[in-house]
């Protein structure tokens, strides 16, 4: 099964790989843009990765990447009081009992107006039009037919689920080949994006950002003895006769690989405001505000060039594809630029 990112054109074969891609490539979106569910047909969005993981665990529980756990699914018949936690095949068996009683049954799937009271016709319609056996099949029912059984979950159990999900991701990451250089470049990119958002979204001054970087570096430097103690304890636990100098080398290796320390040290690519600005102009599509002086007393006005901003936005293929998407059916209102119903207003 192919999994596709809803932000870009990335595809992969495993759900865990797509979740890792979300974290690495689009992790900064959670403040301004909710994270969409990984499943194509699921419209749910979330404000944090923990909320997304809980949703995946409860609604889209995978077994061997092909089966879905149906224990919490409740089907409700629109013709009688039938409301039970069962599988899809059991629900259709119930619908067929209504047909045997010569009652007209509507197709329960979305966007389908088919209805019949003939047993063989109903079976033929389902087999011909709704026989897709994929993981999102259960999300295709009309509203009110399929719901999730409500369960009371406390904070501790939710945190336990998150821990299990994190462990699964960690073990899967060990099996996925990662290009070290690509990962280093991406993490540098993410750190630069964080500093840029601090300036543009959170409106933190450049001097405050620089002070924050220095404080973080100082805290990490002061924590080196704690890191040394932890590594020494683990090392001696497995190798009682090990040379303690190995722990020092391991501390140095961990510190050198730290993304924040590496790129904010003296001479680092993000160590000063000038270097961060240079990196941002080179790696990000930034539309700079334009300032116009209006009078001799230097009164000015600043604005963002709208045309240039639109050009930058539509250079992204995923945004352009959505803008050019043709909406079928009766369009109510002005959904796209293709809707020319506005011309009737001038008549």
Q: Which tokens belong to 49?
A: 């990765």
Residue entry with tokens 């002070």: 211
Average of per-residue pLDDT across 20-43:
76
The tens digit of pLDDT for each residue in 265-281 reads 999 999 999 999 999 98
Q: What percent of the chain has pLDDT over 90?
A: 21
Q: Give dist(CA 60, CA 82) in Å, integer.
A: 24
The tens digit of pLDDT for each residue in 116-140 reads 988 888 888 888 887 654 445 555 7
Q: What is the pLDDT of residue 327?
A: 56
Confidence of residue 160 (pLDDT cuts 50, 70, 90): very low
Using the predicted structure, report yes or no on whether residue 340 has a pLDDT greater than 70.
no
Q: What is the pLDDT of residue 179?
A: 66
Residues 105 and 94 sit within 8 Å (Cβ to Cβ): no
Enclosing H/E stretch for 217 = helix 206-222
| 30 against 71, higher pLDDT | 30
Listed in sequence order, the residues at least 6 apart from 210 whose beta carbon sits closer than 8 Å to its beta carbon are 272, 273
Q: What is the pLDDT of residue 338?
A: 55
Q: Give dist(CA 271, CA 116) in Å, integer.
A: 70
Q: What is the pLDDT of residue 63?
A: 40
| 1 against 242, higher pLDDT | 242
The tens digit of pLDDT for each residue in 55-84 reads 887 777 644 334 344 445 688 888 888 888
Mean pLDDT of the chain: 77
Residues 54 and 162 sit within 8 Å (Cβ to Cβ): yes
pTM for this entry? 0.52
Range with the poorest average pLDDT among 110-119, 147-156, 201-210: 147-156
Q: What is the pLDDT of residue 88?
A: 80
Q: Give dist(CA 325, CA 108) in Å, integer.
A: 28
Q: Three-state secondary structure along 159-184?
A: HHHHHHHHHHHHHHHHHCCCCHHHHH
Listed in sequence order, the residues at least 6 apart from 341 whose beta carbon sits closer than 8 Å to its beta carbon are 331, 334
Number of Cβ within 10 Å of residue 279's Cβ equals 20
The tens digit of pLDDT for each residue in 330-339 reads 545 555 555 5
Q: What is the pLDDT of residue 154?
A: 37
Q: Give dist(CA 99, CA 121) in Å, integer.
A: 10
Q: What is the pLDDT of residue 178?
A: 54
């Amino acid at each position: 099964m192919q999994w596709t990112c809803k932000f870009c054109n990335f595809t992969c074969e495993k759900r865990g790989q797509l979740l890792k891609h979300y974290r690495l490539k689009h992790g900064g979106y959670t403040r301004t843009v909710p994270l969409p569910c990984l499943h194509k047909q699921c419209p749910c969005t979330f404000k944090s990765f923990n909320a997304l993981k809980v949703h995946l665990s409860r609604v889209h529980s995978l077994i061997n990447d092909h089966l879905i756990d149906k224990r919490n699914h409740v089907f409700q018949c629109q013709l009688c009081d039938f409301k039970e936690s069962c599988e899809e095949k059991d629900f259709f068996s119930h619908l067929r009992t209504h047909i045997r009683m010569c009652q007209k049954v509507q197709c329960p799937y979305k966007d389908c107006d088919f209805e019949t009271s003939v047993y063989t016709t109903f079976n033929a319609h389902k087999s011909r039009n709704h026989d897709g056996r994929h993981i999102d099949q259960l999300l295709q029912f009309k509203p009110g037919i399929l719901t999730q059984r409500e369960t009371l979950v406390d904070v501790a159990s939710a945190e336990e689920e998150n821990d299990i999900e994190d462990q699964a991701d960690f073990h899967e990451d060990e099996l996925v080949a990662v290009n070290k250089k690509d990962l280093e470049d991406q993490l540098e990119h993410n750190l630069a994006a964080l500093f840029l958002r601090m300036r543009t979204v959170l409106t933190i001054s450049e001097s405050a950002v620089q002070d924050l970087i220095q404080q973080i570096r100082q805290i990490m430097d002061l924590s080196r003895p704690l890191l040394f103690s932890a590594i020494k304890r683990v090392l001696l636990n497995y190798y009682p006769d090990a040379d303690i100098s190995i722990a020092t080398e391991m501390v140095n290796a961990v510190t050198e690989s730290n993304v924040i320390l590496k790129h904010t040290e003296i001479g680092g690519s993000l160590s000063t405001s000038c270097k961060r600005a240079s990196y941002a102009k080179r790696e990000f599509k930034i539309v700079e505000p334009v300032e116009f002086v209006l009078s001799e007393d230097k009164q000015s006005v600043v604005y963002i060039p709208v045309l240039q901003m639109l050009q930058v936005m539509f250079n992204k293929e995923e945004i352009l594809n959505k803008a050019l998407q043709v909406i079928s059916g009766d369009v109510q209102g002005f959904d796209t630029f293709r809707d020319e119903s506005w011309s009737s207003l001038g008549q």
